[in-house]
Every structure is written in C-alpha cells, then in structure tokens.
Chain A
Amino acid sequence: MADTENKALQSKEKVTLSTAAEQTKPGIVFTPAVDIFETEKELTLLADMPGVKSENLTIGLNKNVLTMSGEVATPEGENETEVLREYETGKYFREFTLSNEIDQTKIEAVLKDGVLRLILPKVEEITPRRIAVKTA
C-alpha cells in the first residue's frame, strides 16, 4: 500500500447499523470497517473492533452467513463526568454472505489490538486446480 504511506488519517463518524430486526438490548450498534481478501486456499477478513475483548466476541457461521458481533464495555468510570464527547461506544455487528464453501472446522480467529483477523479456509475440493490445455 505504497500510495497510503504518507496519507493523513481522517476520522470518520462510526457507521451505525440499520436493520429491520431490532436489538433486544438498547444501545447503539456499529458496523465495523473490514478488509476482506482471498487467496486460492482461504478467505481472510480483518475487522476494526476497538474495545472488544475476546470473551465478548461472537463469530458464527450458519450455512453461508458469517456473523460477527462484539460487545464493548463502557470504558468510563462511575464518578467521571463528561467534558468532551466525540465518539460513542456500543456494540459491533456485521454479517456477510459467503460465496465460497468454508471448512468450518478450520476457522481461525485472532483478536489483537482491537483488530479481528478471521481466516476462513476453503473446502479442499473447491480449491481450483489448474488444467493444462495441451495443444495438439
């Protein structure tokens, strides 16, 4: 990513989720920013979820729908009063429909510094095989 090396980072308002189904718990739900890329063997997903601890993160794969959901505990202490507020904290939620067949037993998830890295290995048979075309 050479083009972004000297770029100044700009803050963005967090994207709130708007779905037909309402959450049972009140509070704001955000959709985390993600990077998704694919290699021949696997699909990798990176998601920014600052403040989410691994015990509060749920990842589910039902048929071909991948669901990620993470709870953020309120970081402010009880006796603190607000001076300046520029961002809100809440829950993170996002769903994806996967087009590849994923090997559910080999899914790997690592949460580090607020970034989730999810590795979804494709099922062996789906791995494309190169077919050599012979010229007669």
Chain B
Amino acid sequence: MDTIAPQNPTANADRLDGFVQGFVRNAWYVCAQAREIEHAPLGRRILNTPVLLYRTNAGKVVALHDVCPHRYMPMSKGRLVGDNIRCTYHGSLFDEHGKCVEIPSQDSIPPKCFLKSYPVVERKNWVWIWLGDPAKADPSLIPSENYLGFGHEDYSTVDHKYRLVKGRYGLCNENLIDDTHISFLHLGQFESGNRVHTMPEVSQEGPWIKSRWFDPHEKISPFFHMLFDVDYEIAPRALVGHFHPPATHVVWIEMYNPKAPSERPRVLRVALAFTPETETTTHWFWAESRNFHQKDAAWDAFATDTSWAIQDQDFYAIEAIEALLQSGSALPEEVSFKADAGIMRARRVMNQIIREEQGQ
C-alpha cells in the first residue's frame, strides 16, 4: 500500500483553524472500486483504520479490521482459505464475519481473538464502507447510483478510476466546490476564462450543498467543441456541483443548443468520492458518464484522457498545498473571497457534523 506518512501533521495548527479537522465516522465512504476487490486480500487504510477487503467465493464483499489481534500482523498479508483468511505470521484463521475459527498452536480460542467486521455495500462501480456505529449504517444514506450517473438509462458510464492523493480530504472537497480555480489552474481548457467574473448560486437542500454556475452566452472552447461534438461559438452552459458531506460529489456540465435552448442539454456527469486514508492523504475515486454518444469507445477514451489530465492539475495543486502545510513554514492568516461562499458553507456543515458526532 502506497501510504505517505505525514511529516508534521500538526505544523501550522493555529493557521488551520478554518480547515475541516477530523473525520466524520458515521458515514458511508467509498473504500474501493468494485473491480479492485477480488477473491484475494486487499489492504486499504480508511480514516486511519487498516481495513482488509476481499470477496467470498460467492462474490460477497467482506470488510474486516486488517490487524491480527495476536501479534498485530496485517491480515491483508495473509491468504484466503475458502472464504476464511489465514494470518501469514502464526496461522490464525478467521471467517468472513471476523470470528476466529482456528489457532494452529492451541485448541481453545480466547474470546478477544476476533477481527472487527464493518458494514459494506456494493453499488455498481463502487463499494461503500461504514466505520462508525454499525447500528446507524443505513444503506439508504448512500447517494443513489442513478444520481451518481451509474446505471441511469439516459447515461452511459465512461470509465472509473482511483488514485491515492497526498493531500487531506478537506483540500480535495474544497477543490471540487471551488469554481473560480477553473479559470486559472485549468486555463483555456474548460472555458473562456469568464467564470471567475460570475458567481455561482449556492444553496442547501437536506445534506446536499449545491452550486450552479450558468452563463447564457459562454464562448465555447475548442476542447468543448470536440468533447460535446458541437459547433456553437456561443452557447448557454451550466456547471452544477452537488456536495454530499462528508466526501461525495456529483458535478455535471450542461451544454445547451443556442438555437433550441429548451432541448435537453448534452450532459457530462462526474461522480467523485474522497475517502480519507489518513489525516493528510486521500483515496480519490472518479467516475464519469454522459447522455450523448453513449457507449462510444472513441468518446470514452477522449473523456477519460482529458478528465484525468484535468484532475492531474488538481492533484498538483492539492499536493503542493499539503506539502506546504506540513513543511512547518510560517503561514499568513488565511483569506477568503466572496466566491468562496460554497467552500465556507461546506466547512461550517462539516465542522458541525464532526462536533455533533464528538458530542460537543
């Protein structure tokens, strides 16, 4: 597992008061792409908790604490015996529920010899895990796959990918909520650069923090001419972002026909899930779908290439900021702009959830 240990996670603590600190535990997080989990042990750290993932012979996903209680060997280093997992160090064998069923060197099994089991739900491309109070693990809290763009009859999935980002999940969340960076970090690719001058509408509905940026007269970039297969010079265009705290985003671009604006727009929909690995590293899950040129391999490849190239620029910014936060360098007081309304609202909501969970 490519884990990056924080150099100095408490550096500049007094300058990070505005940042989201800590994790929400009572929430569903994406722990893996469905295709990553096979009938073989996979170790992944989630919210700083080592988790073992594997599939039974029947295909069911199992999530257990990835620590043998005997001598703390990671169970993911072990091997599957049928649907059970055997520790590679001293051979203790645990079933898919975490119950110890064999200790080779003795007949009795101590009552504390078990692996904690976590609720998991597999939904299309993603597998979700709940590390908090299992009694609260209600699968209906997971955003529907149609909403994420998986399996919706009007959409076909382009692709889905994963990367471990060397940056805290708060930076990842804020990157997605923040529209104005698009005119600079992604200069010339998304749009004509005027987004920075028009503010998005920000609202909140239930757990969702929503923003919608709309320009009725957007100058369409060559990239969007190709990506959306349109030849409009000027067209109405929207960028919509929905954030489901603590870690799920759905973002979509609507491209309208300027000659028939009431027609259904061409939509490219991106679902992202940012699962904290540690305080300073994040599992970044991406999936994309669209409602035009469905199941067209050429557009799938183009969308994957370009979406991942854009995200590479986001990784660059997030990892540069994280490195600075951990460097111990003195930082100035953080300044926010009017355009940061969505970010500030997200921080307030997140900090409130964390405070409530911690009983403060």
A and B, one complex? Answer: no
Q: List residues of chain B with CB under 8 Å of any chain A CB.
A: none
Q: List residues of chain A with CB under 8 Å of any chain B CB.
A: none
